[in-house]
Structure 1
Amino acid sequence: MSNSVISEIDRSGLCLGCGLCEAVLGKENCTMQLRDDGFFHPQFKRLDKKSERVINEICPSINVRNEYELKKDERIWGKIIQLYEGFSADQEVRAKSSSGGVVSALAIYLLEHKKVDAVLHVGGDADDYQQNKLRKSYDREDVIRNNSSRYAPALMFSDIFEILNQSDEIFCFIGKPCDIAALKNFLRVYPTYQDRFKLTISIVCAGMPSFNGTRKLISDFHPQVPIKNLSYRGNGWPGYFSFSDNSGKVYSKSYNDSWGKVLNRHLCFRCKICPEGIGLLADIAIGDAWETKNGYPDFTEKEGNSLVITRTAIGQQVVDELINDEAIFCKSLPVEKLRLMQPFQYRRRKYAGMRIIAAMIAKQFLFRFHNLYIYRNLEFKSPKRLMKEFLGTFKRAIKMA
């Protein structure tokens, strides 16, 4: 394997900017840099063969391994122990969160009941919206400060060794599905840290937009810089994109106008071929329990509801504890309801295999996506639709070459 393999991941638009390269090589040999395209990229100064092999093995862009072999009836949504719709009993948490506040409720409960020492999740910076990174939360105040969606890149793992080596703390880790995949890959190569993670929670994800999407939303208002207190969602459901400018004026756009018309047009190419955005590898996956109107999700503002999927015994145990203690209020749902609440994820899982095949041919890359059922899901699909998915992805991939 040559140096060009790692560099080609980045050049091909496959890099997720997670920061594992910087962590493995050290900041003296690799730094993550925000470039003009609005994404973080690794800048290599020195790359030895051993480190290159490690990066090639743990990079979540090309390695997603589900340890549980999916059965036929799990081919779309993965292993599900229980499916719920619910919300946090804490009204402040529910209101400030992206959906029903169950992610934050779980984090707060684990901390207050001493189940973990800290929660690792993405946090922003009120004074600089480009400073999304992995942060530690120790109490309810920390969790609320770092909660809500961030539809932009984040440096998840640049400082992972520093975080793990500065203490013996036990963590709950919260991230996107690709972040969970990255963590699992990391722990396979560095098993000494395996016992440091009590629980993993995945956010259901439709893709990571670049900072250029955020800048476009901001520029539409012609505000006075600097920009502060930027929020992508929250304070309602689905909530508003909002920020304040140097004069103190507050600007906002609806979810449909911000995500639906701007942000999702700036997605990372790797997100367009994502094998799963539903947290197959996590203990618990949580998203939006969208209500439907005329067969489509209804984005009318209302009180938030979270979609909760338990995938492992420990995940179910923790959710049961919160329900029993009335920290969250949940009702069980039939699995069939998922298709209505998350139609995008349903289509993505059905056709991801064809998009991945197109990307592998165009990029001459072999992805290591194991036990995800992505190719079996192509069985009995319309040849016309499959060809449309293939050509669309192939053209995008070639254009980026």
Structure 2
Amino acid sequence: MSFVDLRESVLDTDLCASCGACAAVCPEDLLTISPDQPVPSLAPGAAADACGTCTLCTDVCPGRDTAVPKSEQRLFGRTRNVEERWTGIVRHTYSARAADPQVKAAASAGGAATALLVSALRRGEIDAALVIGRDAERPWVPEPKLATTVDEIVECAQASYCITPNLQILKDSPFERIGVVGLACQIEAINRMRNLADPPAVARRIAFTVELGCASNTKRAGTEHLIEGRLQLPLADVTGMKYRAGEYPGDFTVWDRAGERHTLPFHELVLEFRKFKTFRCLACPDWWSGLADVSVADGDPNIFRTSREAERTEKASLLITRTDRGQALVDASAAAGDLHLTEEVFVPEESLGLQRKRHRYTSYAQRHPGQVPQPPVPGEQLERPLDDDELIESMSRAQ
């Protein structure tokens, strides 16, 4: 009775990461999950006791158990140490920029993730890329998409700050070599699939993984609040939306039926979104999973400060390689002229997004003992985690 177990241990305790992995691997199509319903439920007509002895949905779920140590043993032959708690096991660290001006212009930061996908597609290493697009009729609604052309990948280059169950789209995919961009929870789910003695077909279709640093994801109600509550624009009038449009670091931007732009500075988006989080996102133990072939984040360690102080800086991505596959992907993309790289040093203490996650996780672990996912390695502790407002202000004072 696997779904019953999933419901009791993950769904009823608000630990669902909304990754879509459970629906992706269910052999009987008993589960359904979508951007409109990001928590899995039984498909119409399905019975909770129809699972029989199948346990796949709980086997791959990262909601309560991310299984990072087991995945690291398989990938690297060891688990991370305390000093690697928030970075994971690192091979090389770069500052990266897409060489193609179109890719760089479309991206929120340096466009590294998009450049890797485009380069791999051009070289014939993948047939499709799993990215986040927009619902054609409701542009504020994210929609997972298997992009098969350069133009489709570039169109989806922008960051999305809204919960989207990406992995379900991999089920019954006609493509056999897919490059996947995802968040820590989604990459953890993929690795839980690969940890199984007989990995499901979904996992075997994935050619490589690229993960994005994530301080926390947001319910769709947060985006709708920005549009209707802050911009005073009816959803029915929205014809286009980007979370970070225009000059870096970008503004939350909505276009109406008359072609007019309505904007909010990015730093206001950060503060408003805090009202629209799930318990699982707030209690998440990872900024990166450290399990992807390549990890990417904004090259600016404090986008909030850059936005609030109206600073101007060049777009760049922080890029970390972890596996042989990831290093080969980055090297090939650079050799093809699709990615510009320079050696970089990543300082976790300077990253506002990472530190927000670090302080928040400690706070939730102290307030909800036994109810949050376990960290990838024990030992790193904060005696007094800062309140989010206090942390943001302490790290974002004008320099």
TM-score computed with the length of structure 2 as normaliser: 0.82
Shift in Å at residue 287 of structure 1? 0.7
Contact between 2:222 and 2:275, CA under 8 Å: does it hold in 1? Answer: yes
Deviations 1:174-212 (A, max 9, x none): 111111111222334452534432211001111111111
Kindly provide the amino acid, as one letter, of the partner of residue 206 in structure 2. Answer: F
Contact between 1:203 and 1:279, CA under 8 Å: does it hold in 2? Answer: no
Shift in Å at residue 52 of structure 1? 6.4
Tell me how many residue pairs correspond in the alignment: 367
Shift in Å at residue 27 of structure 1? 8.5
Q: Distance in 2 between matches of 1:207 and 1:26?
A: 31
Deviations 1:101-141 (A, max 9, x none): 11111010000011222212222224313542331122210
SS in 1 for 2:253: strand
Deviates more, 1:104-113 or 1:149-158: 149-158
Give the equivalent residue in structure 1 for 2:226: 217
Shift in Å at residue 275 of structure 1? 1.2
Give the equivalent residue in structure 2 for 1:29: 30
User: Please, which of 82, 97, 103 is the counterpart of residue 107 of structure 2?
Assistant: 97
SS in 2 for 1:191: coil
Give percent identity, aligned residues only. Answer: 22
Shift in Å at residue 215 of structure 1? 1.0
Give the equivalent residue in structure 1 for 2:14: 13
Q: Distance in 1 between matches of 2:100 and 2:35?
A: 37
Shift in Å at residue 63 of structure 1? 2.6
Q: Structure 1 residue 298 and structure 2 residue 285: aligned?
A: no
Q: Distance in 2 between matches of 1:222 and 1:87?
A: 36
Kindly provide the amino acid, as one letter, of the partner of residue 60 in structure 1. Answer: P
Kindly provide the amino acid, as one letter, of the partner of residue 58 in structure 2. Answer: N
Give the equivalent residue in structure 1 for 2:150: 140
Give the equivalent residue in structure 2 for 1:332: 343
Give the equivalent residue in structure 1 for 2:56: 54
Contact between 2:34 and 2:165, CA under 8 Å: does it hold in 1? Answer: no
Instruction: Structure 1: give runs of 5+ residues left out of the alignment.
Output: 390-401
SS in 2 for 1:162: coil
Q: Distance in 2 between matches of 1:159 and 1:51?
A: 25
Give the equivalent residue in structure 2 for 1:244: 255
Q: Distance in 1 between matches of 2:204 and 2:58?
A: 24
Shift in Å at residue 41 of structure 1? 2.1
Counting only pairs closer than 5 Å after superposition, residues 94-133 of structure 1 correspond to structure 2 as: 94-129=104-139, 131-133=141-143
TM-score computed with the length of structure 1 as normaliser: 0.82
User: Please, which of 177, 197, 210 is the counterpart of residue 184 of structure 2?
Assistant: 177
Closer, same or farther in 2 for the Cα pair 1:160/1:326, shift >3 Å? Answer: closer
Deviations 1:123-164 (A, max 9, x none): 22243135423311222101111221111121312332221x
Deviates more, 1:11-20 or 1:94-103: 11-20
Contact between 2:2 and 2:56, CA under 8 Å: does it hold in 1? Answer: no
Closer, same or farther in 2 for the Cα pair 1:308/1:234, shift >3 Å? Answer: farther
Give the equivalent residue in structure 1 for 2:244: 233
Q: Distance in 1 between matches of 2:131 and 2:157?
A: 8
Contact between 1:170 and 1:196, CA under 8 Å: does it hold in 2? Answer: yes
Give the equivalent residue in structure 2 for 1:191: 199
SS in 1 for 2:237: coil
Closer, same or farther in 2 for the Cα pair 1:317/1:32, shift >3 Å? Answer: closer
Q: Distance in 1 between matches of 2:287 and 2:86?
A: 11
Q: Structure 1 residue 377 and structure 2 residue 385: aligned?
A: no
Give the equivalent residue in structure 2 for 1:399: none
Deviations 1:33-90 (A, max 9, x none): 667xxx6222324223447622222112123122220124323311111111121111
Q: Distance in 2 between matches of 1:29 and 1:287?
A: 35
User: Please, which of 18, 40, 43 is the counterpart of residue 42 of structure 1?
Assistant: 40
SS in 2 for 1:57: helix
Contact between 2:301 and 2:353, CA under 8 Å: does it hold in 1? Answer: no
Q: Structure 1 residue 76 and structure 2 residue 86: aligned?
A: yes
Q: Distance in 2 between matches of 1:60 and 1:291?
A: 27
Instruction: Structure 2: give runs of 5+ residues left out of the alignment.
Output: 73-78, 388-399
Q: Distance in 2 between matches of 1:34 and 1:133?
A: 7
Contact between 2:35 and 2:163, CA under 8 Å: does it hold in 1? Answer: no
Q: Structure 1 residue 344 and structure 2 residue 345: aligned?
A: no
Q: Distance in 1 between matches of 2:3 and 2:136?
A: 38
Deviations 1:91-110 (A, max 9, x none): 12111111111111101000
Shift in Å at residue 2 of structure 1? 7.7
User: Please, which of 289, 302, 305 is the counterpart of residue 299 of structure 2?
Assistant: 289
Closer, same or farther in 2 for the Cα pair 1:240/1:350, shift >3 Å? Answer: closer
